Amino acid sequence: MSNWHRKPSKSHPTKALPGVKRLIARDFEARFLEPAGQKLKMESHRSILGCVKRRESVGFCPAEVAKIQRRGTAGQSEIPNGEGTMDAKPTHEQAQLQLQIYDQRREAKLRQARDWFGKNYIVSNFDDAMRIAPMGSETGAYVGMVIGYWEQACALLNYGLLHEDLFFETNGEFFGVWEAVKPVIPTFRERFANKQILAHLEQAAKRYEAWSERRNPGHVAAMRQFMQQMRAQTASAAKA
């Protein structure tokens, strides 16, 4: 039997609300409590609970649910093209998640794959990619590990679970990976009929470029020039 007809418990206003709705209501309750445990802003709280109990569709109380979704961005304000700029410090959860991502990057096999990728993955077309790292080969597995890792990390960033400034200030490798694979991605997307291949990595790279130009104009151009020089040297050494 549904619990929606029951009155909220006096000991806890959200006790009678089932499932996800109770969790969201408690989320709001926590946000309206002062840090020192001062009086709850009951007027806002009642409004939220009333919205929940009316079971409005996804989410019920759209503006308030949107606020929950924005909490992970820690003060990120939206700007055109899906980019963002942070105006608040990282949360503890964001910092902890980024450290967990870094810890995964230290795994021995992934570190080996990253080392190989940085030294050897120099492609300009689909045939180059298949020659250097054919599917089913060890080198193909290396490429899959590297781009898979950074695609997932960038997805967390793009969904607002990581703090943009903190991520960009302490990570640059993902941008180099995108620059390395960028020449062949359109062909891969067409061959496999999937426009979402490395879409998060691409979006994060575009965000990083805009972010970097605001802070350090010319930095990305200098990085690209350096990477091109290194690739040219590597290609020459391979032919020698």
pLDDT tens profile 180-204: 999 999 999 999 999 999 999 999 9
pLDDT greater than 70 at residue 62 = no
Is residue 84 predicted with pLDDT exceeding 70?
no
Q: What is the pLDDT of residue 237?
A: 72
- pLDDT at residue 234, rounded to an integer: 74
At 228 the pLDDT is 83
Residue 59 has a pLDDT of 40
Please name the residue ranges forming H helices in the chain: 19-32, 42-53, 62-71, 92-105, 108-120, 126-132, 138-158, 164-170, 173-181, 185-191, 199-215, 219-239
Instruction: Please tell me the distance from the alpha carbon of residue 146 to that of residue 177, in angstroms, as a whole number.
Output: 8
Do 176 and 146 meet the contact criterion of CB atoms below 8 Å apart?
A: no
* pLDDT for position 28: 45
pLDDT at 174 over 90: yes
Mean pLDDT of the chain: 76
92/36: higher pLDDT: 92
* pLDDT (mean) for 210-235: 88
Q: Residue 107: what pLDDT?
A: 97
Identify the residue with better confidence: 90 or 3.
90
Q: How confident is the model over 38-43, as a mean pLDDT?
A: 40
Q: Which two tokens stand for residue 202?
A: 């691409």
Q: Which tokens is 205 given?
A: 């790279």
* Percent of the chain whose predicted confidence (pLDDT) is above 90: 56
pTM for the full model? 0.64
Q: What is the pLDDT of residue 96?
A: 98
Q: What confidence score (pLDDT) does residue 220 get?
A: 93
Q: How far apart are CA 212 and CA 171, in angstroms?
A: 12
Which pLDDT belongs to residue 66? 46
Q: Which helix (H) or strand (E) holds 54?
A: none
